[in-house]
Structure 1
Amino acid sequence: MTAFVLVSGAHTDGWIWREVAARLRESGSEVHPVTLTGMGDRRHLAGPDTDLETHIQDLVQVIDHVDAPEVVIVGHCYGIHPVLGAADRRPERIARIVHLDAGMPQDRDPALKLVPDQALRERLHGSEHGDEDRRIPPPPLDEWQRWGSVAGVPADVLARLSRLAAPQPRGTLTQPLRLSGAVSGLPTTGVLCIANGSSIAAVEALVGLGDPRLQALTDPRVSFFELDTGHWPMLSTPGELAEVLLRAAAGEGHRVAAKVGEQPAHLRPFLLDVPEMRRERVGQVDLHLPDADGPRPAVVFVHGGPVHPEARPTPRDWPAFVGYGQYVASRGAVGVTLDHGLHGLGDYGHAADDVAAAVDLVRADPRVDGERIALWFFSGGGLLSADWLAAPPPWLRCVAATYPVLAPLPNWGLGDSRFRPAAAVRAAGRLPIVLTRVELERAEIAVTVEEFLTAAEDCRAEVELVDVPLGHHGFETIDHTEQAQDAVEHAVGSVLGHLRG
């Protein structure tokens, strides 16, 4: 018999597992929905010293009193922190750890680091608080999305979630997680909620970019499932979640294979055969220069991310960006590629500053016509277009975006930030926008593109769509098809047309 220990996220308690627990018990499993100290009907037990270690000890006691030979312990959102802490103390009892729409905290990480609510992170990080701040109040009914997408949760259930929510002891979010390393050898399953911005395709893409922290995900003991719902699957799709947990306990799930010797997708050749043009490096910026006299217009290509700072080669040397830069130079404009500081989701401000500095450098170059500049954004770099759309300078003749993220994903914690192109486009005026859209886009990204297009239509922004039939995210080095080549040529031709018009 398998025993499931179910641990909920911040402000919540064991009641949210009611339907999931019932279905697991119907399968013959033993189920222990846990209410941690200070939560639910144990909220009166919270004191000044209630912290992450308190919750870890809660779970250690539960594990010690389970008789079943196999324990599958499930951590949702914040709950993964005490789950990992307890599993690290009792690794011999744990058959599998399930990260339910939860992050991958490491040793010494406080839970606050992964809290989706940006305002809460900023309020608590590195500041001193009095007694009144020892317990963090739950969000109001209309702000639960700060902790993740509420897609699929019925209105009455969401109202109950809000009504029964308890203040979260501050120490549970700020105390660092301490791990000995014993937990690293345990089988693990990630359950990803697509409507909250997670997917298997996204995981595989990040692993392919070479982030060393994610190489552990290629271990055959690690599996993945997807649920097409928001951050609260125990409330929105309890039957599907119960089935996934049973399959996870049985060792099923998608594996992210380590492709030994295979060239990563982003390092494969560019889909067009372009002439070799002169390339000049200035700091973090590369200029791809045309064979032409006098100042020429420039196209600045802004890569996506996050990209780990140790990834090599860096984005400006990836074949796709070199290909775009050289192709633009072969057609008479200056192609500009750069490396910016988008190494994590909290780095958008730094990356925006890097892009602005690169644009200033390019405009000051005597070989560039500083009054004719286009900015072209890719993938997660799409959010960086927001500043330019919100207040386009007169020298910005065009903004382009290719398979972009155009609104923060729900689990990115950027909901109230300035990086919302889907909102900024309302201020773009008559600025031409060239948007390349791939047919096989990841669902969580496609939603943001549709949100952007709806807003653009409402404000009558000048958006030209370039579609790539059967195209994938990163198609320039994946889909060497005639349609993909036509899309690149069309998009580049449109951008250059706006620069010369």
Structure 2
Amino acid sequence: MHVFIMVAGAFTGTHVWQETAARLVAAGGTAQVVPLTDLDPDRSATAPHVGLETHIEDVLAAIDAVDATSGRQIVLVGHDYGIHPVLGAADRRAERIARVVCLDSGMPQNGVPALAAVPDQVLRAQLAERAEAGEREGVLAPPALEEWERWGSTDGVGEADLARLTALALPQPLGTLFQPLRLTGAVAAIPVTGVLCTRNGASIDMLQRLVDFGDPALAVLTQPQVTFFELPTGHWPMLSCPGALAEVLLQAAAGEGHRLRPAGDDASTPAHLRPFPVDVPELPRDRQGPVDLYVPEGEGPRPAVVFVHGGPVPEGARPSPREWPTLMGHARLAAAEGMVGVGLEHRLHDVADYERAAADIAAGVDRVRADPRVDPDRVALWFFSGSGPLTADWLAQPPAWLRCLAASYPVLAPLPAWGMAGSRFHPARAIRQAGSLPVVVLRAGLESPEIAATVDAFVTAADECAARLELVDVPNGHHGFETIDPPEETVPAVRRVMRSVVTHLTG
């Protein structure tokens, strides 16, 4: 007895939902697809200006067309841009809505325009300039066939479907991107389900890690009425796996799905706060601005290993990354080997922050090299997880003093949803310029497919250019394996990489 009202994303119309709607109807549900004004051939604009408010009215009309006395519960489904008019309409008809489904989309907040969710960072900046200049009318041309990846991963979408998507795409009115979403707060009481398309770069595990960092803004994701599902596909599941999507929507309507664990839940210590598995000396730290130095006793100066934490990490997360057991443990392990171990903190709080984080790291390394206890001509950099794209600068132009670059379970290319296709942070491209720089990668055998694909591309590029790449595998290791997997396999791998790095620094 559910009515699924579905709203498509940017440039697309009702046609994308055809197969999914048919599956829902076959399962006993009712499916309605909202034709958005000027984004569907069946609904052309009669007013001179089309904005987000126009599309909210389109969704409201679909809600009001459902007989309120029928007993059927309305489930609103918003894909991509479509979540903005869905939330705007749900806020005004909260008593009519049983659930909102965010299909591979964020959860926009009051006062924020859809422009903030445009994934391609370069395009978003260009559009922001047009908005600031007062150019709020007009349209944004739809993507060409080869440009859809700028809006999300096309993984799983066949050639014919992609060609049809391109042929039927219509220009997006700029007003729909520039006009802020206005919410009264009523929508907050409606149960929500997020459907994450993992090939586009999002996963339940990633969300749980973000929640575990303790950002109060994410606490809403742990409420009992909020559930999550994953689909192993790209950004357009209604085209790549309509049957699986329909099944997930039916389960979501029934209140099923994964629920996130609140931060600080006594039932489980977050992975990033669990003990480092290697016995290391309890050396004191010497905090120097953004860097913590762990200096062994004895005469110096000594080579240094600089450890760069992953991310993005929400701003204000406590404890801060350089106080996490893994980063502190690695730095103290380096000190036990006679090196100066360094934990370096940077401001990678969002995927839009890679430029800022790169500058933070460069400044932090300069500070380390200027310390009289450090040999400025013998430094290694060791990156973790989401800091992997930041290796690109050092690979592309390795300075003479950089004796080794290491990375543990790294993300070695921006994930599709990050909108960084045109950025410089692509290590697989940069490795071709690394020359004789030794590179050591600690690879998790049970890494998520999306991250593993970036590592595979990096390894292939390194092989093609005969880079000095050493791979150390943890076959049964997961992402962040030091604190979540048995130490019998992980500790030898960590020690092996450390020995390799120290050899390159002292040889």
Category of TM-score, reference length = shorter chain: over 0.9
Letter in 1 for 2:128: H
Q: Which residue of structure 2 lines up, in the alignment, with residue 264 of structure 1?
A: 270
User: In structure 1, how many angstroms separate the alpha carbons of the residues matched to 2:49 and 2:38?
Assistant: 11
User: Deviation per CA, 1:155-214, whole angstroms, max 9, x where unpaired?
Assistant: 111011111111101111111111111111111111111111111111112111222222
Q: Which residue of structure 2 lines up, in the alignment, with residue 434 of structure 1?
A: 440
**SS of the residue 2:66 aligns to:** coil
Q: Which residue of structure 2 lines up, in the alignment, with residue 241 of structure 1?
A: 245
Letter in 2 for 1:89: R
Q: Which residue of structure 2 lines up, in the alignment, with residue 496 of structure 1?
A: 502
**SS of the residue 1:495 aligns to:** helix
Q: Which residue of structure 1 lines up, in the alignment, with residue 373 of structure 2?
A: 367
User: Deviation per CA, 1:381-429, whole angstroms, max 9, x where unpaired?
Assistant: 1111110011111111111000111000000111110111121111111
User: In structure 2, how many angstroms separate the alpha carbons of the residues matched to 1:292 and 1:107?
Assistant: 57
Contact 1:278 1:290 in 2 (8 A): no
User: In structure 2, how many angstroms separate the alpha carbons of the residues matched to 1:335 and 1:86?
Assistant: 54
Letter in 2 for 1:95: A
TM-score (norm 1): 0.97
User: In structure 2, how many angstroms separate the alpha carbons of the residues matched to 1:25 and 1:390?
Assistant: 54
Letter in 2 for 1:351: A
Contact 1:469 1:484 in 2 (8 A): no
Supply the RMSD in Å over aligned alpha carbons.
Answer: 1.5
Give 1:225 shift: 1.1
Letter in 2 for 1:292: G
Change (3 A) 1:43 1:353: farther
Q: Which residue of structure 1 lines up, in the alignment, with residue 58 of structure 2?
A: 58
Q: Which residue of structure 2 lines up, in the alignment, with residue 96 of structure 1?
A: 99
Give 1:278 shift: 3.5
Contact 1:201 1:442 in 2 (8 A): no
User: In structure 2, how many angstroms separate the alpha carbons of the residues matched to 1:455 and 1:493?
Assistant: 25
Contact 2:49 2:137 in 1 (8 A): no
Identity of aligned residues (%): 59
Which of residues 190, 204, 208 is equivalent to 1:204?
Answer: 208
User: In structure 2, how many angstroms separate the alpha carbons of the residues matched to 1:380 and 1:292?
Assistant: 35
**SS of the residue 2:478 aligns to:** coil
TM-score (norm 2): 0.96
Give 1:38 shift: 1.1
User: In structure 2, how many angstroms separate the alpha carbons of the residues matched to 1:467 and 1:116?
Assistant: 33
Give 1:473 shift: 1.4
**SS of the residue 2:255 aligns to:** coil
Give 1:443 shift: 2.1
Q: Which residue of structure 2 lines up, in the alignment, with residue 195 of structure 1?
A: 199
Letter in 2 for 1:393: P
Alignment of 1:390-405 (within 5 A): 390-405=396-411
Give 1:369 shift: 0.8
Give 1:118 shift: 2.0
**SS of the residue 2:285 aligns to:** strand
User: In structure 1, how many angstroms separate the alpha carbons of the residues matched to 2:164 and 2:46?
Assistant: 22
User: In structure 2, how many angstroms separate the alpha carbons of the residues matched to 1:43 and 1:74?
Assistant: 20
Correspondence 1:349 to 2:355: yes
Contact 2:293 2:342 in 1 (8 A): yes
Correspondence 1:315 to 2:321: yes
User: In structure 1, how many angstroms separate the alpha carbons of the residues matched to 2:212 and 2:153?
Assistant: 27
Query: Which 10-residue stretch deviates more, 46-55 or 238-247?
Result: 46-55
Change (3 A) 1:46 1:212: farther
**SS of the residue 2:219 aligns to:** helix
**SS of the residue 1:125 aligns to:** helix
Contact 2:304 2:342 in 1 (8 A): yes
Letter in 2 for 1:19: E
Contact 1:386 1:420 in 2 (8 A): yes
Give 1:227 shift: 1.0
User: In structure 2, how many angstroms separate the alpha carbons of the residues matched to 1:440 and 1:132?
Assistant: 47
Letter in 2 for 1:378: F
User: In structure 2, how many angstroms separate the alpha carbons of the residues matched to 1:243 and 1:183?
Assistant: 25
Q: Which residue of structure 1 lines up, in the alignment, with residue 182 of structure 2?
A: 178
User: Deviation per CA, 1:345-370, whole angstroms, max 9, x where unpaired?
Assistant: 11111100000000111111111111
Letter in 2 for 1:72: V
Give 1:268 shift: 1.2
Q: Which residue of structure 1 lines up, in the alignment, with residue 7 of structure 2?
A: 7
Give 1:131 shift: 6.4
Which runs of structure 1 show a deviation greater than 3 angstroms over 4 or more consecutive aligned residues?
126-133
Letter in 2 for 1:306: P
Change (3 A) 1:380 1:242: same
Correspondence 1:73 to 2:76: yes
Which of residues 105, 108, 116 is equivalent to 1:105?
Answer: 108
User: Deviation per CA, 1:32-78, whole angstroms, max 9, x where unpaired?
Assistant: 11111111215641755211111111111110111253000000011
Contact 1:211 1:307 in 2 (8 A): no
Give 1:270 shift: 0.7
Contact 1:198 1:444 in 2 (8 A): no
Correspondence 1:338 to 2:344: yes
